[in-house]
Structures are given as structure tokens and as C-alpha cells.
């Protein structure tokens, strides 16, 4: 690594734009270079706002765990409220505490495990028409699959039952992803721009979700899905439930966060497996040994040791959420970094997960690193694909179970071969997406 430069050094910047253009041209490359060349505490200039880029796991721990009450969510998530509303992902203060208390029981481990068979059943149904030499766009396929799963677990809906919601979600996500790099650079006092396409998509979403909520309230029936649990949730002290606006915001938060990140993890995972035949062989052998010709079940998760290590490694190299930001709501020191109220601190899973201090051959896909003891002594926040602290992703166990079961199922059933022309360029928007279609040829295993 060489000698670390003086504390609080920074890359060269433009007089007015600061680091805006360098960051916007290549966010991942710029941040990696900043951390490797200028240290764990780098002061950046974005739109006249003081921004600290931190790569020390101890400082990340301090912000997310130790001093989390001194911070709010960062600019990017704050500006996503037109899409997410005031749900658990974007709310703050007392609103967040109330909603968190209501929603935590919904993700009890037993409840999460009960959705496992549904996930695999949807994967079986979705891939039933795949035959050898089937050509697929991998991310398009995994997105459709995880969309089916979230529709079933959230709304107890079958494919096609809520097409208006899924179409509007896809439009809203695509439009918002295009605008997020620009939105993040705006000063905090500038209102979030909402394009006509995004406004229409949000309007369609609101109409569809509000109709579904009204229908369910009138039925007074438990459908065994997450919407039924949200409708039944009551505050322990006041016995109040959620009003329609809050239900809408939480449903869309679960919907949007609940399928895209899993779809990306699956797509990146299958890409890496296609590039590493040795890993593929071990996965197939483990699936055969653990559940044979049956379907993987949540009870098999403990035995799918190698599959779990593969998923950990996928999330290390290609974390769907590639950065985390926080804004200081009071003056404080983070390590030796003096933050003032309104300052922004952010850190990147992409950068920290590929730091050679914590992982040998950090840019290589080596699932065995999670089994050989080499990561056991690492600081906690050298690896944080789901964030951490009280604001950790509430659906992390749901997502992990989904990706482990589906990845095992898909690799046991099919061999995936990348198209020769595929280039794994990256498009880091809200999530870490491929810049080009992930074309694959699917072969059915005998």
C-alpha cells in the first residue's frame, strides 16, 4: 500500500465545480483512487458543501452504530422521497422509530423462512420454459423473477394480477436512476427535480397501490402476505395502525428495495459463476448432496455452506448498494474528522470491500476466503453490504435467503454461458447495475 499521505489530503479539484465532474465521469474509479492515494479521510468538494469520504471501518462503525443519532440519511436518499415517500428507508426521528417498531416483527426469522418455498416455487415456474440454447438477458430475467416473488410475498399476487404496479415501478426506477447522479450534486436547498415521466409513473403507482389498500381494508381478511401484516400492525402503546399514506410509502419501499437489489445480486452472481467453472462445479455438487432432485428449502440453508460463501463473495465484489451517506445534524468529531452540522460523510462498500488491507487478492472472485479463516480477524465494517447499526437494511435476512436459495436452484438446474461480446462495464446509479445487457445462453443440466 505504501506510505499514507497527510491526513485530510484531497485529489485536485476544479475551482468552481470541485470534484463534481471527476466523480460523475467515473464514481467508482474516482472514489477508489481517492481512498488508495489520499487515505481513509478525504475531503471532497461537491456544490460548495463540505463532504468527507471515509474508508476506515472504525469511522464507519462510529457513524452507523456508536453516534448514529447525530446523523440523518444522506442527500441521495433524501431526494428520493418523491418515489419512496416517507417510508422506513427515508424517514427520520420519531416517524422512523414508530415505523421501525411496527415493521420489525414482520421480518421475524420464522416469518421470513415461511416465504422460502414460495421463492423457489416461483423460480421453478418462471424457468420451466427454458430449454437448452435459450438466450436470456440475465438482469432482465432475474428482475422478472424477483418481481414475481415480491408481488407474491407482498400482495399474494400471481403474475399479471398487478401489472399496473410492476410496469409503473419499472418506469419509475429507470427514470429515477437516470437522474440520481445529477440530483446528488445539487445543493441541499434546491428542490428535487421530478421529470414528467417520473411524475406520471409515481401517479400510476399511487393509484394502483391505493386501490389495493382500499380493497384489502374492505375485505378484513388475512391473505398471509406482508400487506396483511402491515394492515394488522399496531403500536404497543397507542394501538394505532398505519394510515393509507404511510401504508403506501412502506409498501413501495419494500417493493422497490425488495426486488431490485436481489435481482442484481443474482445477476452478478451468475455472471461470476459463468466466469469461474470451478466455483460452478462446487455449487452443483453441494446442491446434489444437500437436496438432490428436490427443491432447496429454508431448512437447507445451514447446509448450503459453499453457496452461502459464494453469495458473500458476490456481495463483496458487486454490492447492489455501493455507497452509504449520512448528514450531520449537530457538530461532532468522527475520529479526528471535524464535522459541522450539515456536513456530509459517506463511504463506499465498493471501495472498502476491495481494500487489500482486509482481503487478499481483493479484485478476484474467491468464495473460499469466507471459509479459510482469512476474514475472521477483519474489523466489522470492512464488509457491510446491507449497511449497519439501527438503520441496517431491515429485509437483509429475507434478501440473503432469497439469493442463496435461488442461486443454488438455478445453478443446479442450468448452466449459464456469457455471450462473447459481453463487457462487464458498470453503471453506478442508486444501485450498482451493469452498463450493458447481460446476454447469456442457458443449457439445461441432465
What range does the domain containing 330 cover? 20-444
DSSP letter for 89, please. T
DSSP state of 108: -
In a domain, 84, yes or no: yes
Q: How many CB atoms sit inside 10 A of residue 104's CB?
A: 12
Please enumerate in sequence order all residues whose Cβ is within 8 A of that of 409, keeping only pairs 6 or more positions apart, or say none.
120, 123, 124, 287, 295, 296
Is 260 within the bounds of a domain? Answer: yes
Question: How does 9-39 read in b/e, with b if 16+ C-beta sit within 10 Å?
Answer: ebbebeeeebbbebbeeebbebbbebbbebb
Mean of per-residue pLDDT scores for the chain: 87
For residues 431 and 260, the answer to whether their CB atoms sit within 8 Å is yes
Residue 443 and residue 426: Cα distance in Å, rounded? 26
Three-state SS at 356: coil
Cell digits of residue 421: 461480446
Query: Does some domain include residue 4?
Result: no
Locus of grid cell 474516482: 30
State residue 2's pLDDT score.
42
- What DSSP element (H or E) covers 362? none
Of 78, 254, 71, 228, whose CA–CA distance to 165 is shortest?
A: 254
Q: What is the CATH number of the domain that holds 399?
A: 1.10.630.10
Residue 11 placed within a domain? no
| Cα end-to-end distance, the chain, whole Å | 48
- CA triple 284-423-412, angle to 5 deg: 10
Can you tell me the distance from the alpha carbon of 53 to that of 70, in angstroms, rounded to the nearest whole number?
A: 17
352 in helix, strand or coil?
helix
CA–CA distance, 128 with 442 (Å, rounded to integer)? 12
Contact 329, 70 (CB under 8 A): yes
* Helix, strand, coil % over all residues of the chain, rounded to 5: 55, 10, 35
- Residue 180 falls within a domain, yes or no? yes
Q: Tell me the DSSP string of 164-189.
A: HHHHHHHHHHHHHHHHHHHHHHS-TT
From the list 106, 101, 89, the residue with the least C-alpha distance to 230 is 106
Does the pTM of the predicted model rise above 0.75?
yes
Beta strand segments in 62-216, E: 71-73, 134-137
CA distance 343 to 349: 20
Is residue 8 assigned to a domain? no
Tally of structural domains, the chain:
1
The residues of the chain scoring below 50 in pLDDT are: 1-5
334's grid cell: 468522527
| pLDDT at site 189 | 53
381 CB burial (10 A radius; 0-12, 13-18, 19+):
buried
Backbone angles phi, psi at 4, to 5 degrees: -70, 140
CA atoms of 66 and 429, how far apart (whole Å): 28
* CA–CA distance, 165 with 152 (Å, rounded to integer): 13
C-alpha cell read off for 130: 427454458
Classify residue 13: in a domain, yes or no.
no
Cell reading at 254: 419494500
Contact indicator for 266, 143 with CB cutoff of 8 Å: no
The answer to whether residues 386 and 316 touch, using CB atoms and an 8 Å cutoff, is no
374 touches 360 (CB < 8 A):
yes
Give whole-number Cα distances, 231 to 237, 250, 256, in Å.
Answer: 17, 11, 19
Rounded-to-integer distance, Cα 123 and Cα 131, Å: 15
User: Could you tell me if residue 103 is inside a domain?
Assistant: yes
Measure the CA–CA gap between 22 and 11, rounded to whole angstroms.
10
| Cβ count near 81 (within 10 Å) | 15
Amino acid at each position: 500500500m505504501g506510505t499514507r499521505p497527510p491526513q485530510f489530503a484531497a485529489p485536485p479539484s476544479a475551482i468552481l465545480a470541485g470534484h463534481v465532474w471527476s466523480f460523475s465521469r467515473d464514481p467508482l474509479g474516482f472514489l477508489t483512487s481517492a481512498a488508495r492515494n489520499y487515505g481513509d479521510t478525504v475531503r471532497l468538494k461537491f456544490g460548495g458543501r463540505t463532504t468527507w469520504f471515509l474508508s476506515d471501518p472504525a469511522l464507519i462503525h462510529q457513524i452507523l452504530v456508536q453516534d448514529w443519532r447525530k446523523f440523518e440519511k444522506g442527500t441521495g436518499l433524501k431526494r428520493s422521497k418523491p418515489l419512496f415517500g416517507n417510508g422506513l428507508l427515508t424517514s427520520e426521528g420519531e416517524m422512523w422509530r414508530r415505523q421501525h417498531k411496527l415493521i420489525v416483527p414482520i421480518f421475524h426469522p420464522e416469518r421470513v423462512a415461511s416465504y422460502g418455498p414460495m421463492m423457489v416455487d416461483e423460480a421453478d415456474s418462471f424457468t420451466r420454459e427454458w430449454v437448452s440454447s435459450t438466450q436470456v438477458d440475465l438482469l432482465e430475467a432475474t428482475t422478472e423473477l424477483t418481481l414475481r416473488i415480491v408481488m407474491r410475498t407482498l400482495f399474494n399476487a400471481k403474475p399479471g394480477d398487478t401489472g399496473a404496479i410492476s410496469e409503473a415501478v419499472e418506469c419509475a426506477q429507470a427514470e429515477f436512476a437516470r437522474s440520481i447522479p445529477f440530483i446528488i450534486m445539487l445543493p441541499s436547498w434546491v428542490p428535487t427535480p421530478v421529470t414528467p415521466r417520473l411524475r406520471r409513473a409515481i401517479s400510476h403507482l399511487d393509484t394502483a397501490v391505493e386501490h389495493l389498500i382500499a380493497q384489502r381494508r374492505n375485505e378484513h381478511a388475512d391473505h398471509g402476505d406482508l400487506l396483511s401484516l402491515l394492515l394488522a400492525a399496531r403500536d404497543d402503546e397507542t394501538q394505532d395502525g398505519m394510515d393509507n399514506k404511510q401504508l403506501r410509502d412502506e409498501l413501495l419501499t419494500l417493493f422497490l428495495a425488495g426486488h431490485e437489489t436481489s435481482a442484481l445480486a443474482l445477476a452478478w452472481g451468475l455472471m461470476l459463476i459463468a466466469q469461474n467453472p470451478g466455483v460452478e462445479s462446487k455449487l452443483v455438487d453441494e446442491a446434489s448432496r444437500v437436496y438432490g432432485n428436490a427443491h432447496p428449502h429454508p431448512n437447507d440453508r445451514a447446509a448450503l455452506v459453499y453457496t452461502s460463501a459464494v453469495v458473500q463473495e458476490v456481495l463483496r465484489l458487486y454490492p447492489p448498494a455501493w455507497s452509504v451517506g449520512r448528514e450531520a445534524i449537530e457538530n461532532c468529531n468522527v475520529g479526528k474528522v471535524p464535522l459541522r452540522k450539515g456536513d456530509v460523510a459517506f463511504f463506499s462498500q465498493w471501495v472498502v470491500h476491495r481494500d487489500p488491507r482486509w482481503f487478499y487478492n481483493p479484485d478476484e472472485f474467491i468464495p473460499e476466503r469466507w471459509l479459510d479463516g482469512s476474514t475472521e480477524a477483519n474489523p466489522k465494517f470492512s464488509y457491510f453490504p446491507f449497511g449497519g447499526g439501527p438503520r441496517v437494511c431491515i429485509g437483509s435476512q429475507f434478501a440473503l435467503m432469497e439469493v442463496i436459495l435461488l442461486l443454488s436452484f438455478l445453478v443446479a438446474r442450468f448452466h449459464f454461458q456469457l455471450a462473447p461480446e459481453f463487457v462487464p462495464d458498470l453503471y453506478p446509479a442508486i444501485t450498482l447495475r451493469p452498463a450493458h445487457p447481460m446476454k447469456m445462453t442457458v443449457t439445461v443440466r441432465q
